[in-house]
Amino acid sequence: MPRVVFQGERGAFSEDAVLRFFGDVELLPRRSLADVFEAVTEGKADFGVIPVENSQAGSINETYDLLLKYALNIYGEIALEVNHCLMAPAGESLASIKTVYSHPQALAQCEQFLRKLEVEIVPTYDTAGSAKLIKEKGLVSCAAVASKRVSEIYQMPILAEDIQTITDNYTKFFVISKQKAKYADENKTSLVFGTKNVPGALHDCLGAFATRGINLTKLESRPSKNRPWEYVFYVDLEGHIEDDICSQALQDLREKTRFLKIIGSYPKNVASA
């Protein structure tokens, strides 16, 4: 049975993504995203599942920094519909809540609802962990933003459902592994590169794809951790590194960049396209 590590407590959305992608596996919760990467790197887990981007709140920057830092492959992707609930211990009501705990991404996705409550917002490391914290410490006048399944696990009544600002709220997750994914009918490739410090450098780099008709589904910059005021660029593209046209584009790109790292070629999640 595969061992799959994820960030958060039991009931976290990352756990839901694990179950959706793999089905029955050995689940290994960890406190931080870095812990997930470490567990896979050290062979304590076969796969890791990490949140990458939310359709409302945008990219999870820490994830992208870790993908650059660690020598792991993206093995697959999955998009999960995320519906947030506000839950609290028995006896609490919307009127009694003074403090709300949850992961920063969840809080951002529910910002409009929470603003109307006029409560103190406390970011934590995990949605499910927030409910666990309130329950175990017996906190009063406190609530957590998490999934409906979390309310069942920690037996905390739901005060409000579907509180996310945008109804169609999805989070994309990557599956990471030392293994490389098998070639599929439809594939995506993720990579990161740094440009040379010359005029038109990014334009020249992107031309390697444009001239070959390769579709880029994501382009995002992040500050370089090694060079102040310089940036690296993350790209998702349609195709596989074994495809002739992609191979040619990447060889062209390599000659134009300061560095290039292929994070993975993996099956495209058609449902999330």
**Which active-site residues does the annotation give?**
171, 173
- For residue 127, which of 271, 6, 3 has the smallest C-alpha distance? 6
The two counts, helices (H) then strands (E), for the chain are 9, 15
CB 179 within 8 Å of CB 45: no
121, two tokens? 């917002």
Asked whether 30 and 21 are in contact (CB, 8 A), the reply is: no
Cα–Cα distance, 164 to 157 (Å, whole number): 18
Q: How many CB atoms lie within 10 A of CB 268?
A: 20
